A and B are shown apart, each in its own frame.
Chain A
């Protein structure tokens, strides 16, 4: 007789299965990278292959967050790599940050999401809008992964339109009283703290740091996701939460502040999505050379070659876009609209590549023997969060015409 509790919650063990991923550099883009960039890529890739690839399918299947990886990500340096070393950051450039995101998402968009949120949406706003005391108090512990953070912008009734948010902080003299709810918040169920965006008494959007344990603050988990299953998502609910005044991010002011954070995260997604696309392409290419039908490898059929040719073309274009954007960002010249374009394009091509790669794998493509279906489902979140595909089209549209189509 089988033990029911055991079959429902089997322990998650590493599979013997190897991660066979191989990198295809069709345009010698490596020549554009420094030795240090390549060492960063090799290091993150080795860590992924050793610690994450063997367990990711199980965690995704069981919709569990591999919490033990948070500390390891801190150790490898996946949190705040482009922030100054004096606050625990890596002191690396923006291309390095992008490469780290690419390698994490090459394995799983959920793992990359955890790192994106921690780096760009929690550490970055504390660094950019926080006081010196806040920087010293929070950043080093977030960098090591001792603390996990989340970013609360989206609300049940305000997704694409965060400006309409109804979460509020009320000045009560010696503290703020925080009320409202945030939805779709990555890392929320396990977060030690949250950077929360709320309107003050003058209707100006401000950022506050809310810590777990504050009375009236809860983080119920969102269940039933078919996407980003290895990343925990939840709500942030504030019921008369007393937030000390020193937890206000003093330099945050208006919607621009959270949007600046989103620009930083979107930049990482532009690189990350290439990772998912590369993994799908690599798997599809290998499968197409191994799988024999009608007496020859399916890679020998013209329709399969069309798919593979288009995939590597789009990956190459996306790589060049990301590299150029990273170069501009290193020089402090990348505009939010340029970042928006790269996020939209690279996620879209990754999603298309995942769908085509799934077809090349035939029936095997729907199983967890191959990473394809997981990537494909993950990318449905990636194409939606941090600005949906259509919202990014409107950003480019507004940028080139000067006309606002949002309202």
Chain B
């Protein structure tokens, strides 16, 4: 099996988020970045499991600048075999999908994984666009997948239940919780990652179709009012008159 996993970075979940240039740009000063968790825990680990079960290679691909190399190294330490970095600022989902499609064309991957979403911009888009650009089937939000021969059986959560479907390889799948469990790289893997190939390629021409106008932070939480437990009438009054929920 020839497997491709799309990975990217997101701010560390403890990072303080702020914006610059009249709230049009995310301020990356003093923000540390991690591998997008859904890419790492679900897509990458499931791809490695498939390789362990059926043999093959796992390639990771990312679109971004040199600072992403540390995230790529982590993916290699977890167990990917080789990596490709498209050396360009990932401006929007279409631009990213175009770059990955340009690499995947002609590589004949049996299976392409993305995470369900990035946990910063929450676009859910790259997987679907990539499938369209490569003219492949797309299964989104998969939480379980088994492969036999050329056919995969995939489960996905739908409102109020589970959908099970079958799909033939090659296809694109976006992975979510349930697909696999986080693997922590060990020292041996980290050492071996040093020698695994990381190819840096220049981007193909592609338009960015979307530009951000402005970011807004959610409103600050209002301060908490404490009500004397001896005075339930006051609580009812506040809920009625101020919170207006009863």
B147 → chain A, closest Cβ, in Å?
A: 27
A residues less than 8 Å from B194 (CB atoms)? 36
B73 is contacted by which of A35, A47, A77, A96 (Cβ under 8 Å)?
A35
A91 touches B191 (CB 8 A): yes
Question: Considering residues B14, B74, B77, B184, which has the most beta carbons from chain A within 10 angstroms of its beta carbon?
Answer: B184
Contact of B190 with A by CB under 8 A? yes
Q: Does B28 contact A (CB under 8 A)?
A: no
- Interface of A: prevailing SS: helix
The CA-CA distance from A100 to B77 in the complex, in Å, is: 16
Asked if A77 meets B187 with Cβ closer than 8 Å, knowing A22-B14, A36-B194, A39-B77, the reply is yes
- A85 and B191 contacting across the interface, CB-CB below 8 Å: yes
Interface string of B67-98 (1 = CB under 8 A from A): 00110011001000000000000000000000
Interchain CB contact (< 8 A) of A39 among B14, B73, B182, B188: B73
> Which B residues lie within 8 Å of A81 (CB)?
187
- Chain B residue numbers with a CB within 8 Å of A43 are 77, 184-187, 190
A90 within 8 A of B: yes
> Chain A residues with Cβ under 8 A from B73's Cβ?
35-36, 39
A119 smallest CB distance to B (angstroms): 11
B169 → chain A closest CB, angstroms: 32
Known interface pairs A35-B73, A36-B194. Does A77 touch B184 (Cβ–Cβ under 8 Å)?
no
Chain B residues contacting A38 (CB-CB under 8 Å) are 70
Interface residues of B in 173-192 (CB under 8 A from A): 182, 184-188, 190-191
A76 at the interface (CB under 8 A from B): yes
Cross-chain contact B188 with A47 (CB below 8 angstroms): no
Pick the contact of A77 from B70, B74, B186 — CB < 8 Å?
B186
Most-contacted residue by chain B among A22, A78, A90, A96 (CB, 10 A): A90
> Which residue, of B14, B74, B182, B187, has the highest number of chain A Cβ atoms within 10 A?
B187
Query: Cβ of B70 and Cβ of A50 under 8 Å apart?
Result: no
| Measured CA separation A50–B69 after assembly (Å) | 26
Docked Cα-Cα span, A90 to B194, in Å, equals 12
Contact of A35 among B14, B69, B182, B191 (CB under 8 A): B69
A81-102 vs B, CB cutoff 8 Å, 1 = contact: the mask equals 1000100001110001000100
Do A50 and B187 touch (CB < 8 A)? Answer: no
Cα A78 to Cα B77 with chains together (Å) = 16
Expressed in whole angstroms, the minimum distance between the Cβ of A69 and any Cβ of chain B is: 14
Chain B residues, Cβ within 8 Å of A40 = 187, 190
Question: Does A46 interact with chain B (Cβ within 8 Å)?
Answer: yes
Q: Contact between A76 and B184 (Cβ–Cβ < 8 Å)?
A: yes
Q: A1-53: which residues lie under 8 A (CB-CB) from chain B? A: 22, 35-36, 38-40, 43, 46-47, 50
* Distance between Cα atoms of A85 and B190 in the complex (Å): 12
- Report the Cα distance A81→B189, complex, angstroms: 12
The distance in angstroms between the C-alpha atoms of A6 and B203, with both chains bound, is 65
Give the CA-CA distance A403 to B188 in the complex, in Å. Answer: 45
Q: Within the complex, what minimum Cβ distance (angstroms) separates B90 from chain A?
A: 20
Which 7 pairs from chain A and chain B are nearest by CB? A77-B187, A90-B187, A35-B70, A77-B186, A76-B186, A91-B191, A46-B184
Q: Besides A40-B190, A50-B184, A90-B190, 4 other CB < 8 A contacts?
A: A77-B187, A77-B188, A92-B191, A100-B187
Q: List 30 A-B contacts (CB under 8 A).
A: A35-B70, A36-B73, A39-B70, A39-B74, A39-B77, A39-B190, A40-B190, A43-B77, A43-B184, A43-B185, A43-B186, A47-B184, A50-B184, A75-B186, A76-B184, A76-B187, A77-B186, A77-B187, A78-B187, A81-B187, A85-B188, A85-B191, A90-B188, A90-B190, A90-B191, A92-B187, A92-B190, A92-B191, A96-B187, A100-B187
Binding site for B on A (CB under 8 A): 22, 35-36, 38-40, 43, 46-47, 50, 75-78, 81, 85, 90-92, 96, 100
